[in-house]
Amino acid sequence: AAITFPIAYSAATQLGVDPRPFFIAICIAASASFSTPIGYQTNLIVQSIGNYKFRDFWKIGLPLNILVFIVSLIVIPRFWPF
């Protein structure tokens, strides 16, 4: 996420819009690590203790990531307009 903040800021200033919606989108995307066990440390712990397979994370994580994406598309422009 830290690498993409300067890119988002540059894009927002070139477009002449507020960079805050870009920053919020980056934060949400960086924290949405539901689809894979390698997305976050605790997911690896849960996978090893619970004997889950990589595919098990996809079953729940992918729909959850899609939901977060859709909600973000609705909420970000409403609270942080461009």
Instruction: Indicate yes or no: pTM above 0.75.
Output: yes
Q: Are 27 and 14 in contact (CB under 8 A)?
A: no
User: Long-range contacts of range 57-60, CB-CB < 8 Å, 24 or more positions apart?
Assistant: 60/34
Ordered by start, the domain boundaries in the chain are 4-79
Q: Render each residue's pLDDT in the chain as its tens digit; 82 residues.
A: 789 999 999 999 999 999 999 999 999 998 888 888 887 888 889 899 999 998 988 898 899 999 999 999 999 999 999 8
| DSSP string across 30-41 | HH---S-GGGSH
